[in-house]
Amino acid sequence: MSVSKVLFSTLAVSALAIAAPATAKIATGSNVADMTVTDSNGVQHNLSDFAGQKVVLEWTNEGCPYVAKHYSTNNMQKTQAMAEADGSVWLSVISSAPGKQGYKTGEEANAWKDAQGAEVTAIVLDPEGEMGQTFAAKTTPHMYIIDEAQTLVYQGAIDDNRSANPATVEGAENYVLSAMNDLKAGNAVAVSDTAPYGCSVKYKS
């Protein structure tokens, strides 16, 4: 055996594992596994706690111009208000690692929420990037909708204008609102998977 071991290392023919892709996305239409997350007030939530309600996830980063586009125009707040009126849960998720753009402590996150007038159920702090990696969140903003049965029914961009220019909000199709309207009407979500756009999520490296 030792001879073959020497041989293996000498020739290095023994193949190592091909690294498994870290960011396999959750297929739209499949169930979302339960996970426990911590919000800006230190409160823990299980995703399964929200079963029976629709859950909207929004990846955010204050310093990102694409996030700024949707907050400065009140577009994100409007979308949040619509979701709330609909009885949905809205979780804004910050996956920025400490020291990277958009990272916030609980206090900072709450202050930002108030300053923006954001109407969200909770701001999830995900500095380790675990929730982000689970959902394969790529950009800020990156939007997800989970239905009452904890099935992922939408993932992708917030709208169809991929620019950072705030002037482009008007006239764009808001995919999140369209999806919510589809669900409300008892239909399947027509546009359920789009390419997200924006800044990259500032994961810890």
Binding site for another protein (CB under 8 A): 1, 3-8, 10-25, 27-28, 63-66, 100-101, 129, 133, 136, 138-139, 156, 162-165, 193-205
Owner of token pair 């992922």:
152
Task: For residue 86, give the nearest of 181, 159, 152 by alpha carbon.
Answer: 181
- The answer to whether the beta carbons of residues 126 and 100 sit under 8 Å apart is no
Nearer to another protein by Cβ, of 49 and 128: the residue is 128
CB of 138 to another protein, least distance (A): 4
Cβ nearer to another protein, comparing 121 with 197 = 197
Could you tell me the smallest distance in angstroms from the CB atom of residue 115 to another protein? 20
Q: Measured from the CB atom, is 6 or 115 closer to another protein?
A: 6
**If you compute the radius of gyration of the chain from its CA atoms, what whole number of angstroms results?**
20
In whole angstroms, what is the distance from residue 66 CA to residue 60 CA?
9
Smaller CB distance to another protein: residue 119 or 166?
A: 166
CB 198 within 8 A of CB 102: no
Min dist CB 81 to another protein, Å, is: 27
Stated length of the chain: 205
Minimum distance of another protein from residue 135's CB (angstroms): 12
Q: Give the residue from 33, 57, 25 showing the smallest Cα distance to 145.
A: 57
